[in-house]
Amino acid sequence: MKILVTGGAGFIGSAVVRHLLNDTQHAVVNVDALTYAGNLESLAGVAASPRYAFEHADINDAAAMAGVLAEHQPDVVMHLAAESHVDRSIDGPAAFMYTNIMGTYTLLEAARTYWQALQQSAPEKAAGFRFHHVSTDEVYGDLKDPEELFTEETSYAPSSPYSASKASSDHLVRAWQRTFGLPVVLSNCSNNYGPYHFPEKLIPLMILNALAGKPLPVYGNGQQVRDWLYVEDHARALVRVALEGYSGETYNIGGHNEKTNLEVVHTLCDLLDEQAPGDAPYRELITFVADRPGHDLRYAIDAGKIERELGWCPAETFETGLRKTVQWYLNNREWWQRVQDGSYQGQRLGVL
């Protein structure tokens, strides 16, 4: 099959592309606008594959999306392109509305037109077509009951501009399925971590700050709970949903790893003390800072549906995944140093 991945140069998207090219025989079309978080270096190991194509394009460009679909004729669209950092959404919500809502709308319309044309020209291909929308558990808000978990039936209650924009895009996808019959599947995932993560997110930020001897800023008292999912486990789950998920269904994807933010930072400090010891324990760098506005206290995913229906479960525990992540950052200092100074951007790779 040929699978079109939007946002394939991003953190999760690149893991999906690597998985598809390394572990399957499917062809991949990577569509990415190469904004600040898009990094083609994360695909250096697979970019030479004859099954890989890259299209530098913005999902808000309707003509470009129509052209990409017409040229490559994908069997599946996996939509991962999004603005995803909560702090950035608080400082500047407009980009999140533009990309996450209007970008999804533009892509849905392009996909609908393409799929309807397939129904006339290649009905068998049209019958197997899927539009997979990748979303977040943050659309559900936070959990008050310590025993409660997010299920696919949990009501939406987004707290931030980011999560509100993703909730909006989820609703659009479901509306295009119900109104136009577009065959869609959705997935909502917990917090991801792993190699090639942009340094603004918690785990890579803590690793790189610690190695630089900088403060490790923890919001509030650090008791916010998140369910952590190793990105390569997530990539496997996403491909399973895209190819085997039932049309119209939603699948929650989680790692069964509920940890407070402070627990995560403590574990990272201890791993760095072991693998890259400094002059003093890294825990001494922890600094508590003013909490984020509207900060959700607890997220936790019930991933039972994807396990029962599609046979997926995470391969990594939090301990094994975090150890691999720390080791990756220690082994790839040149990569994250280029990310930090901006020298990884597409024009330096000859794609712009």
- What CATH number does residue 20 fall under? 3.40.50.720
Ordered DSSP codes for 62-79: HHHHHHHHHHH--SEEEE
Which residues of the chain carry a pLDDT beneath 70?
A: 343-352
Query: At CA 118, angle to CA 9 and CA 26, rounded to 5?
Result: 40
Catalytic residue among 32, 75, 83, 138: 138
10 Å Cβ neighbour count for 47? 17
What's the number of CA atoms in the CB half-sphere (13 Å) around residue 241? 32
Q: What is the pLDDT of residue 343?
A: 66
The active-site residue out of 41, 58, 137, 258 is 137
Chain-centre distance of CA 151, in angstroms?
19
Q: Is 162 among the residues known to form the active site?
A: yes
Nearest to residue 42, comparing CAs of 12, 85, 6?
12
Q: Which of 105, 114, 140, 162 is catalytic?
A: 162
- Would residue 137 show up in a list of annotated catalytic residues for this protein? yes
Cα separation, 46 vs 52, whole angstroms: 8
pLDDT of the residue at 136: 96
Q: Where are the beta strands (DSSP E) in the chain?
A: 2-6, 27-32, 52-56, 76-79, 130-136, 184-189, 191-193, 216-219, 225-230, 250-253, 258-260, 286-289
Number of domains the chain is built from: 1
Angle at 340 between CA 345 and CA 297, to 5 degrees: 110
Determine the straight-line distance between the first and last CA of the chain, rounded to whole angstroms: 28
**Are the C-beta atoms of 339 and 207 separated by less than 8 Å?**
no
Q: Are strands 216-219 and 130-136 parallel, antiparallel or unpaired?
A: unpaired
Residue 250 corresponds to which tokens in the numbers above? 């939603």
Pair 346, 43: CB distance under 8 Å: no
Q: What is the pLDDT of residues 55-69, one digit of tens each?
A: 999 999 999 999 999
CA 77 to chain centroid, in Å, comes to: 15
Which domain, by its residues, includes 124? 2-349
For the question of residue 138 being annotated catalytic, the response is: yes
Q: According to the model, what pLDDT value does residue 345 have?
A: 54
pLDDT tens readout for residues 172-202: 999 999 999 999 999 999 999 999 998 888 9
- Judge whether 299 and 138 are in contact, CB under 8 Å: yes
pLDDT at 296: 83
How many whole angstroms separate alpha carbon 37 and alpha carbon 224?
25
Contact 94, 19 (CB under 8 A): no
- Express each pLDDT in 76-101 by its tens digit: 999 999 998 888 999 999 999 999 99
What pLDDT sits at residue 340? 77
